[in-house]
Amino acid sequence: MTTTAVAGAAAGVREFRMPDVGEGLTEAEILKWMVAPGDRVHDGQVVCEVETAKAAVELPIPFDGVVRELHFPEGTMVDVGTSIIAVEVDGPAGAGAAAPAEEAQAPAADGAAAAAEPEAEERQAVLVGYGPRSGSARRRPRKVQLTPPGQAQEAPAPAQVPSGAETPAPAAAAAAAAPAAPSPVGGGRALAKPPVRKMAKDMGIDLSVVPPTGPEGTVTRDDLRAFAAANASAAAPGTPVEEAAPAGQSAAPALGAAVEDEVRVPIRGVRRATAQAMVASAFTAPHVTEWVQVDVTRTMKLVRKLKETGELGAGLRVSPMLLIARALLVAVRRNPEINARWDEANQEIVHRRAVNLGIAAATPRGLLVPNIKDAGAKTLPELAEALGSLISTAREGRTAPADMQGGTITITNVGVFGVDSGTPILNPGEAAILAVGQVRELPWVHKGKVVPRQVTTLALSFDHRLVDGELGSKVLADTAAILERPKRLLTWS
């Protein structure tokens, strides 16, 4: 992985910028700092861990020196190209790192040293699995305090409005509570990135009344948060600042304020990516879900036997999920048409040869679905090793972005939560997903008698554009048949 070394404004200081995360992602969250001001760092040393919508990634520093400043605390969302750490490098200023004297003495707007433009010969900033990014970005200014702490805001005199004209209530309240904002560049609409416009829309804030602090008068996320905080005590949504709430009547929650019995959690990283993917899948692919109850007593006995004998190999984890995965892979091999995707642009069904089997894993960062590449070609011991590595890596938050791309069919185990079944939503681009419920003893007719047997429920959701009822039913029935009589793994493989 290559990283960026950017010349610092002061002699001997170099700035390390947030690398380009690629694939349309423009920001990352700083999860954990591995260093502190005063620590000595060396080329290749990991200085922090960041989280994108794809994965958690460790960032190494590309030069030697002593940490001078960490520009952002843990938990901060940082735009790509923004300087995150200043390092006093060994030597005068590092090779080719000296900045002009006038730049070295000019402080930046937020008090940090202004970073000079990177030289053409220096390395590009990229994360693992992503390509380089052209151009550069400047550091985002820190949050602006609109109202001094402990002081109430005074509402300016209402602006004169032509007779008969109406002013929208939220915009009027916001405009009355905020200081005069600099006019947008060119006198047009307020300048802001698409994510900032979306954030403003969700918060109900008119961008034209928000004081911008970004480059060339751009409104940033911090500007929106500062504006909302400044208005929290000034006015309730839709209420003019000149009008106080009637006596004995509680006012509505102010803009950006949290109600006492509510806790608001920002939607970031994996959670945001999952939400967007599930909405896109649910309203794009027509879902069909089928269920079947299965007597898995023989499969559970086989799992216990493999654990006791260690036949698959030392150190390999044997679980019911291993045999369920093998059963599904055999069912897909018998019905290969289900291993496909829908190409909307070309109006084609694309059949895939390799089965990249996804396993949904609940992690502290949210739901991750890494996949085992070409799982159908693996032996049972190889599948056990890949499955164990995939799950442990996901739970530790170390899944590489490449491991979550290219999946063709997924298994989600809801049984571990004591749930019998469900209607899973497809991962975008996949044709089917199998939900596995809890295994529990139920009265079952076995050899003409009602006896207690270990039973589970399987639910298969599939994209009805490319999988019809017959094909989906065959895959589900074959999977159930193998789990009912696991010897079929030998005869059907």
Q: What is the DSSP letter of 100?
A: P
- Which single residue is written with the structure tokens 């006198």? 187
Contact status, residue 65 vs residue 14, Cβ threshold 8 Å: yes
- In b/e form, how buried is each residue of 247-259, taking b as 16+ CB within 10 angstroms? eeeeeeebbbbee
Beta carbons of 66 and 39 less than 8 angstroms apart: yes
Name the pairing type of β-strands 27-33 and 6-7: unpaired
Listed residue (65, 67, 78, 64) closest to 31, CA to CA: 78
The token pair at 411 is 């298994």
Extract the tokens encoding 443.
């009265």
**Is 439 in contact with 419 (CB distance < 8 Å)?**
no
Looking at the DSSP bridge assignments, the partners of residue 357 are 372, 409
Kindly tell me the sign of the dihedral angle through the C-alpha atoms of 266, 271, 273, 277.
negative
Q: Compute the distance between CA of residue 247 and CA of residue 407 in angstroms, rounded to an integer.
A: 60
What is the bridge-based pairing of β-strands 56-60 and 6-7? unpaired
Give the strand order in the sheet containing 6-7: 6-7, 13-17, 83-89, 65-70, 40-41
- CA-CA distance, 437 to 293, in Å (whole number)? 10
Apex CA 418: angle with CA 380 and CA 286, to 5°? 75
Kind of pairing between the strands at 191-192 and 77-79: unpaired
Coil vs helix vs strand at 390: helix
Of 42, 351, 446, 464, which one is the catalytic site residue?
Answer: 464
Residue 397 structure tokens: 């938050």
Buried b (16+ CB within 10 A) or exposed e, 430-458: bbbbbbbbbbeeeeeeeeeeeeebbbbbb
480's tokens: 């159930």
Longest CA pairwise span in the chain (Å): 93
User: How many other C-beta atoms lie within 10 A of the C-beta of residue 354?
Assistant: 13
In whole angstroms, give the CA distance from residue 287 to residue 281: 9
> How far is CA 429 from its chain centroid?
18
Active site residue 464: yes
Residues with active-site annotation: 464
